[in-house]
Amino acid sequence: MGYQAQGPDVPRQSHLDDREALISEHEHKGKTCRQCTAVFNVVNSIIGSGMIGLPYSMKQAGLPLGILLLFGVSYITDFSLVLLIKGGALSGTDTYQDPDTYQSLVNKTFGFPGYLLLSVLQFLYPFIAMISYNIITGDTWSKVFQRIPGVDPENLFIGRHFIIVLSTAAFTLPLSLYRDIAKLGKISFLSTVLTTLILGIVMARVVTLGPYIPKTEDAWVFAKPSAIQALGVMSFAFICHHNCFLVYGSLEDPTVAKWSRIIHVSTLASVFISILFAACGYLTFTGFTQGDLFENYCRNDDLVTFGRFCYGVTVILTYPIECFVTREVIANVFFGGNLPLVFHIIITVAIITVAMLMSLLIDCLGRVLELSGVLCAAPLIFIIPSACYLKLSEEPRTHSDKIMSCVMLPVGAMVMVAGVVMAITNPQDCTHGQEMFYCFPDNFSLTNISVSHFQLTTQLPVLNISIFQ
C-alpha cells in the first residue's frame, strides 16, 4: 500500500528533477556561450587593424628580435589585462553594476587628474583605431573593385574616399548603434574566421611569391635601432585594455579566475596568429615591407584581392567594438554612465562622422599605427595597470605581481618617450597607392634599383605571371 500511495508522486518528482536539470543545463550553456563570446571579442579587438602593420614591425626591429618582442608584448598584455581586473577588485569597481569601472578604478586610485588622463587616452586610442579602420577599408576595397572586369580604375565610385563614406553609412554606423557589446559575439566570431583566411593567403604567398622578391642586404639582421618604433606598432596591435571592463561586465557571474582563463586563451590565440602573419609577411618582402602589408602585393594578384576583401570586412566588423569604448568614455564623463537613447544615437553619429572625415584626410596607415602605439597604447598597457595595482595592493614587495609591475612602469615610460622622439625624427616612408617595382614586367631586367634607403645591385628574376592567378 505504501508503494502505491507514493506511486503518483514519483513521476511528478522525476519530472521536476528533469526540468531543473534542463534549466541548469541551459544556464550552463548560456554561461559557456558568454565566455566564448568574450574570447572572440577579445581576439577580435587584438587582431584588428594593428595586425596588418606587424610585418612592418619585423622590418623595424629585425626578424629575430621582432618575434621576441612580439612574445614579450603578448605576455605583458596578458598580465596587465588580468592586473586591471585585480585592481578593480581591490578598489571595488569590478562589478557589472558599476557603469564606469575603468575610470572609477583610476579615479579611486589617483583622483580626478588620473581619471581625466585615462579618459583622454581611453577615448583617443579607439578613436584613432576607428580612423585606421576607415583607411584600411578605403585602401583594400578600392583595389578589390578595380579588379572587376570593365570597371574604370579612375571611377569616382570605386575611389577610397567614396568607399569610406559608403562603408560608414551602410555598415559601421548601423553596427555601432548596438547598446550591448555581447551582441557582437557572432560578428567577432565571423571576423576571427576571416582573419584565419587572410593568414592562409599570406602564408601561401610567402611560398609562391617570396622567392621572386629580391632580399635586402639587412634582411636577416638580428636587431635594428628602430626597435622602439616596432614596439609602438606591436602595442597598438595588442592593446584591448580600453574595452576589457566592457567585455568583463558582459560575463555571467564575472570573477578574476574566469577572466584570467579567458585572457590566457585569447592572448595565446592572438599571438599565434600575429607571429605567423608578421613572419610570413616580412619573409615575403623583407626590407620592402610597408606599414600596410597589402600595399606590397600587386593589384593583379587575385588571391590577395580576395584577402583584401576579407580584411576590409574584418575591420568593418571590428569597428563597432572601438566605437563602444569611445561612446562609453563620453557617457561616463558627461552623463554619469547613463546615456539616454537620443543622446546614444547623436553621440554615436557624431563620433563616427568625425572619424570618417579625418580618415579622408589621412592616407598613411603606418604612421597612424606607430604614433597611436607610443602615445596611447604604451601607457594603457604598461603604465596605468601597473601603477593602479602597485598603489592598491597590500601584497609584499617580493610578490610576483608587484615585481612585474615595477618592471613594466619604467619600460612603458621608455617606450613612450623614445617612441615619440623616433617617430618625429625618423618618420617611416609611405608608398600609399603606388605599385611596387616588382609588379611591372618591364622592370624585370632593371639593375641598381633603389627603394627607400635600400640600394640593390642585383638582377631581378623574371616573374612567372601564374603566381598571380
**pLDDT for the residue numbered 366:** 65
The CA distances from residue 21 to 15, 29, 301, 372, 409, in Å, are 10, 12, 55, 50, 49
How is residue 61 written as a grid cell?
626591429
* HSE-up (13 A, CA, CB side) for residue 192: 22
pLDDT digits (tens, 9 = 90+) for 153-167: 778 888 889 999 999
**Could you tell me if residue 3 is left (phi over 0), alpha (psi between -120 and 50 degrees) or otherwise beta?**
alpha
Phi, psi of 455 (to 5 degrees): -115, 120
Contact 131, 358 (CB under 8 A): yes
How is residue 282 written as a grid cell?
616580412
This prediction's pTM: 0.75
Roughly what angle, to the nearest 10 degrees, separates helices 227-238 and 63-91?
50
pLDDT digits (tens, 9 = 90+) for 115-153: 888 888 888 888 988 888 898 888 888 888 888 888 877
**Could you tell me if residue 251 is left (phi over 0), alpha (psi between -120 and 50 degrees) or otherwise beta?**
beta
* Burial track 34-45 (b if 16+ CB lie within 10 A, e otherwise): bbebbbbbbbbb
Structural domain boundaries of the chain?
Answer: 28-439
In the structure, what pLDDT confidence band is assigned to residue 94 with cuts at 50, 70 and 90? low
- Domain 28-439: which topology? Amino acid/polyamine transporter I (1.20.1740)
> What's the CA gap between 314 and 404, in Å, rounded?
34
> What's the CA gap between 9 and 5, in Å, rounded?
8
**pLDDT, average across residues 223-232:** 85
Roughly what angle, to the nearest 10 degrees, separates helices 256-285 and 9-46?
40
Contact 365, 200 (CB under 8 A): no
Is the model's pLDDT at 63 over the cut of 70? yes
The residue count of the chain comes to: 469
Is the model's pLDDT at 47 over the cut of 90? no
**pLDDT for the residue numbered 246:** 75
